[in-house]
Structures are given as C-alpha cells and as structure tokens.
Amino acid sequence: MNTETSTSSRRTTYTPDSLLEVAVAVFNDRGYDGTSMEDLARAAGITKSSIYHHVKGKEELLTRGVNRALDALNASLDALDTLEPLPDAGELDRVEQAVFRAVQILVEELPYVTLLLRVRGNTEAERAAQDRRREIDRRLAGFVERAAAAGVLRTDLDPHLASRLVFGMVNSVVEWYRPGPGRWSADDVASAVTHLVFDGLRRR
C-alpha cells in the first residue's frame, strides 16, 4: 500500500492546521486503526518527537479532525434552528437548506467528513465522535419530522426512513467526489441532491 499521501509535501515546520491536514490524509488512506505515530511522522517528514511537541497522540489528531466536520455541521443546524417557529412551507425550506448546507460542508471539508464517516468506535475518541455524529443525525431527523408534522411532506413515506435515505445519499458523496478544475462544484452537487430529494427524477 502506498503510505505517502498527495498532501504530504515534506516540510519541517507545521502549524496545528497543516499537521492536522497531513494526519487526516494518512488516516483516510490507511484507516485510523492501522495508522501509527511512526506512519504520521514519516508522512509529515518530521520526527515522532516533533509531532509530540504539537499533540499528545493520534487520538488528539482524530478528535480535532472530526471536530472540524462536526463543528461546521452543528453551526449550520444552529443557524437554521433559530428560525423557528416557521409557517408550514418554511418547514420544508428548512429541511431543504439543511440538506443543501450538509452537502456543501461535505465537499468543502471532504477529508474531515470522510474521517468522521469512517470512524469505527474501537477507542474512546472514536466513540465520542460517533456520539456527536448521532446527535447531528437526530437534529436532522428532527427537522424532517417537523416538516412531516406540518403536512408539507408526502404522507406515504415514513419520515424516519426518509431521513435515513436522504442523509445516506448526502453521505455517499464522500465515496466518489473529488474536487478539481472542470469537476462538479460543491454547489452543483448540493443543488442536484436537493432537487432530487425534494422533487424526484421524473419529468413533470
């Protein structure tokens, strides 16, 4: 397996953010469980003791990496939560904005969201990340349920199942999306997901 990552540009000084970027790329490449501090030092081109100068260990890098995704997602939900109470159509708009913003964050923070979605729960730091992720899933499902209660969603879909499927589609973007010139932008993908989810593929 290739242990070098495209982001490891072998520099000798790191900021907390640039070291985190290298670490998250290695975690996503090798798996968090399969990554040693040795692997991180090699990818960063510095010694293990230089890394310990920045962080206590790889758990701290995991926590900081997933928090970057989690904090962005929570901030977007906080912004939408202040809008209530909403007239009925507003409940649909809120779900639509939550979906659109979730896709944008996923694309903008791709390595950090990828790390979050792959966390397996073998250590305390991973379980804490999973708990925070489940809390976000609950907040998103809550928006869908309020829209269902407001009568603006079709009634033949279980809101809980619909919510699972919609955010399954959102999260699936990490499996194939790669940024770059001439590729779909964050807004292209976010628009496509919201159009598909709210109005479907069928021509009317």
> Residue numbers of the site for a copy of itself (CB under 8 A)?
1, 31, 34, 92, 95, 122, 151-158, 161-162, 164-166, 168-169, 171-173, 175-176, 184, 188-189, 192-193, 195-204
Tokens of 13: 């000084």
- For 149, other C-beta atoms within 10 Å of its C-beta total 12
CB of 25 to a copy of itself, least distance (A): 16
Residue whose CB is less far from a copy of itself, 47 or 122? 122
Tokens of 163: 């919510």
Residue whose CB is less far from a copy of itself, 42 or 133? 133
CB of 203 to a copy of itself, least distance (A): 5
Q: What is the separation of C-alpha 56 from the centre of its chain, rounded to a whole number of angstroms?
A: 24
CA distances from 88 to 92, 151, 154 (A): 7, 7, 13
Residue whose CB is less far from a copy of itself, 95 or 140? 95
Up-side HSE of residue 200: CA atoms within 13 Å toward CB? Answer: 5
64 contacts 20 by C-beta, under 8 angstroms: yes
Q: Is 16 exposed, middle or buried (0-12, 13-18, 19+ CB in 10 A)?
A: exposed
68 contacts 109 by C-beta, under 8 angstroms: yes
CB of 157 to a copy of itself, least distance (A): 6
CB of 153 to a copy of itself, least distance (A): 5
Residue whose CB is less far from a copy of itself, 14 or 32? 32
CB of 27 to a copy of itself, least distance (A): 14
Residue whose CB is less far from a copy of itself, 16 or 151? 151
Radius of gyration of the chain (CA): 19
CB of 84 to a copy of itself, least distance (A): 19
Omega cis (within 30) before 85: yes
Residue whose CB is less far from a copy of itself, 12 or 161? 161
